[in-house]
Each structure stands twice: as C-alpha cells, then as structure tokens.
Amino acid sequence: MFSVLGRKILFAIATILILFWLFFVWWSVREQEKFYIQQMRREAQAIYHYIVLTREWISSRGGIFVKEGEKFVKITPSHFTKELAQFAAPHNLPFTFKVAVINTKNPSHMPDEFEKEAILHFQKRGEEEYWKLYQKKQNPVFKYAAPLRFQNVCFNCHTDIKNYQPPACISVSLTATPFLKELKKNYYSLIISSITITLLIFFTLCWLIKYLILNPLNKFIIAAREIEKGNFNIRVKLKTSDEWEKLSVCFNQMLDSLTKQQERLEEKVREATKELYQAYSELKRTEKFRSEFFSNITHELKTPVTAIKGTIELIERKGTADRKHLEIIKKNIEKLSKMIKDLLDYSKIESGQIELLKKRNNIIEAIEDAIFLVSPLSQQKNIKIILKSERDVWASFDYEKIQQVLSNLLTNAIKFSPPNSQIIIKVSEDENEVQVSIEDFGPGIPPEEREKVFQKFYRVSKDKREGIGLGLAICKGIIEAHGGRIWVEEPPHPGCIFHFTLPKGDGDGRESQDTHHRRRQ
C-alpha cells in the first residue's frame, strides 16, 4: 500500500498522464484527418492537372479529329472534357470530373452548389483551389475545384475571345469512403496503442517512485518516530549509492552529535525543548499567537545563554576546564545570541512594531560601511567586493536598518562565493527610487526556490551552514517597511543577483550629518 504522499504523487502522475493522453489523442486524430484530407486533395489535384494538361495539348494542336462512322469530326478541349466525363461515368471509377461554367446554357456545364461556391471563391479571393468534404452516411464525397483559365494555346480554338477568362472551373469528386475507413482503423489502433503505452509508463513510474523514493522515505519516517519517542540509538542504513545514502549518513551523524550534546545539557535542553515545542504547537493551531511564540522563544533562549556565559566565566577564572569544551560552548553562545537577535528583529517586523528613523542619506556611504563590516569574512576567502557607482546617490531611509540589510546580503554572498572570486555591487536611480544590486558568482539558487528564500525559517536546499533562516526574511521586512521591493534573479553566469529598491522621498528634508564622516575610501 502507498502512503499518503505516495497516493498524492500517483494521483498527480495519473492526472498528468491522462491530460497528456487526451491531448495526444486529440492532436493525433486532428493531424490524421488533415493528412487524409490532404491526400484526397493531392489525388484530386493530380486528376485536375492531368485534365488541364490534356486540354492544353489538344489546344496546342488546334483540336483533334476523331472518327465517327465514316467521317472525322474535330474535337475541341471542351468537347473532349465533356465526352471523357460521360465515357467514364458508366465505368464505376472512384472519381468523376466536370467543367462547370457560370451562366451557361449547356446543361453538361451547369455548376452545382459546390461549383458555384468555388467559382465565386476564385473570383473574390483569387485563390487557385477550393475543396470540401461532404460527410454523407452512405457515400461520403470529397469535392475539389480549381479555376479553368484560358492559356495562350487556347486561342488556337477560341480565336474570337482573346483576353477573356470565363467564370468557370474544373471540379473533381472523389469517393471518400476508403480514406475514412482507413482513418477510422487508425483511430482504433492509435487509442489502443496509446492506452497501452500510457498504462505501461504509469505502472513503471509507480514502481520507480515506490522503490526509489517512498521506501527510503519510510525508513526515515520510522527513525523519526523512534527519535520522537526518545530513542536516539536508532540509525538509518541505506546502500543506494545516491542522495538517499548521503542523507542517511548526515542523519546518523546528526544523531551522534545530538547524543553527545544530550549528555552535556540534558536537563536544560529538555526544559527548553518542552517549552519550545509547546510554543510551536500553539503557533500551528492558530495565527493569533504568532507574536507570542517569538516572544516566548526569545525569553527561553536567553536563560541557557545567560547560564552558559556564567559557567564559562567561572571556568575561565579557575583555569581547570578543557579548552575544547570551552570553545564548543562559546560557539553555541554565539549561535544562540544570533538566533535571539534575529527572532527579536523578525518579531518586531511581523507585529508591525518596527521603528524607522528615516533621514535623507547617501546610499553609497551605507554600502561602503557594510563592506567594511564584512571585510574580515571576505578577506578570509580572498573575495574582492567591487562597488560600481561614479557618484553619490541619495534617498530617505533608516541608515542602521539598511546597513543591516546590506550586511546580511553581503554575508550571504560571501558564504556562497568560491574563494578568490568577486562580488559586484551596482547602484542605479530614476526619478522615484534607488535600486541596489548585489551579484555573486556562487552556486546560485534553483529557480523553484527563488520565491521561497524570503520566507521565515526557509533555507536553500544547497545551504548546509548553521542558521535558522530569518536573515532574508528580515531584509524583506525592512525593505518593505521603507516602501521598497526586494527580489532575486539569475545572472548569465553561475550565481545570483539580489536587488532591492528604496523610494527617494524627502525624509525630514535634511541630510544625515552623522553619516558623512563614516565614508571610507
């Protein structure tokens, strides 16, 4: 039996295959109908050209003489066509033909409704052919017509009507029954073969999904349930030589790390986890308590941070602790401190309590300050940050908040950029707004994830580093609070470009004096 996820995937695949099958059958039927109509048109066209060629040959000879009894009678192309049509009628041929002329008194040349339509069509549009398929139950007929035009050789017989083109056509009627029977036969073959292939694809995909996706996933689900019960000795063993095996290795390593951490901070982690889980459960039940969740988790995280800091200070005074453990505790403190700051910032943004001290500032100075702040990170990887702007650009914004946005974007760009590469910052402006672009040459962001990177707690699938996924969400909140926009694009090379805009505005009408001395060359 398939799981809920498996049933959803199978339903999606079945829907896609059915829609594709319906479209394929509709398209194939339509194309086959076009093909057989074109076949009938070419066959009728060949008969038409043969008749025209014969008439021109007779005209080029000034008519031909045929023997009737003891006499020889001159036959013109017109008489030849009429008599040939009459001669062919009793022979039960699959086609008939006729010369039709408007306003003629000769009954053998009088046009029927189709021929009248064709002649009017030629006169109005100047086209060279006209056809229709009449779907009669007993005897379906394909009718084809093309203009009857006088050529130079025709004046050998019609010397008195030079430069005259009669409103006439040559029509050919084909029996469409053989074509339609073949078309119907192809319909059945097409439907049966397409259904067989579609079912084969469907069951093959079912087997592949179950074997390659659902079975490994179920092992992780079982392990997750055991961990939920408190059993940290469970391990996932997969020998698939693909991403699932890599994930199982990372999963097992994570469990090893959790077990060691559990021995060291069991009581505090249990208490913090319980309260965090309760706060998270409340958050899932209703959107009403979202802000309360951020406040609670912030206060709960401050308690272990304060305790760990006090312990470190005591151990450092005594001088008897293991330096390796001290470094681990210090790193955890830094991580927790950053988490608290991000949670506090995002809590203010989400609750609408963010305060902006907007003044008329120089965005170039803010960028240069942000570059200076992240320079230790860029120097570690020998990454060159290039600012492309030949003049100052002014806008109304909160200097510290925009500097936080720039620092976050530059920090992300540095983390994902390869060593010895560069990061390019461009600034442009128009009458209403300023646009800043930060371009890196890292692995980039998959197209399906570009709209999600600004969501809270979301991390790009390629990001294996620490963090809780609030950096870009905070950037988005700050920029939108200023009335601007932020988005990400794919450059022509590997990497990504983050853009954000700020309205120029007027602020309080004064230039920020305290930022003028910050500019670093």
Domain ranges of the chain: 4-182, 265-350, 358-518
- Pick one of 3.30.565.10, 3.40.50.920, 3.40.50.720, 3.90.550.10 as the CATH number of 358-518: 3.30.565.10
Amino acid at 102: I
Residue 511 has pLDDT above 70, yes or no: no
Q: What is the pLDDT averaged over residues 6-32?
A: 83
Residue 129 has pLDDT above 50, yes or no: yes
> Do residues 262 and 232 lie in contact, with contact meaning Cβ atoms separated by under 8 Å?
yes
Residue 65 has pLDDT above 70, yes or no: yes
Amino acid at 468: I
215-249 per-position pLDDT tens digit:
777 888 888 887 777 777 778 877 777 777 888 88
> Do residues 366 and 321 lie in contact, with contact meaning Cβ atoms separated by under 8 Å?
no
**CATH code, residues 4-182:** 3.30.450
Share of the chain above pLDDT 90, in %: 16
- Going by pLDDT thresholds of 50, 70 and 90, the confidence category of residue 153 is very low
Q: What share of the chain is helix, strand, coil (3-state, %, to 5)?
A: 60, 15, 25
For residue 255, the model assigns a pLDDT of: 79
pLDDT higher for 12 or 259? Answer: 12
Q: Which two tokens stand for residue 521?
A: 């060359």
Q: How high does pLDDT run on average in the chain?
A: 78
For residue 365, the model assigns a pLDDT of: 93
Two domains, one topology: 4-182 and 358-518: no
Q: What is the pLDDT averaged over residues 60-69?
A: 75
User: Look-up: residue for tokens 């092992």?
Assistant: 219
Q: For the whole model, what pTM was predicted? A: 0.40
Helix 363-380 and helix 399-416, axial crossing angle in degrees, nearest 10: 30
For residue 405, the model assigns a pLDDT of: 92
The set of residues, in sequence order, having a beta carbon less than 8 Å from that of 84 and lying 6+ positions away, is none
Give the residue among 127, 145, 159 at the shortest CA–CA distance from 52.
Answer: 145
Half-sphere exposure of 209 (CA within 13 A, CB side): 19
For the beta sheet containing 422-429, the strands, ordered from the edge strand earlier in sequence to the opposite edge, are: 384-388, 422-429, 433-439, 497-503, 486-489
Residue 323 has pLDDT above 50, yes or no: yes
- Going by pLDDT thresholds of 50, 70 and 90, the confidence category of residue 310 is low
In sequence order, the β-bridge partners of residue 511 are 360
Q: What is the pLDDT averaged over residues 47-68?
A: 79
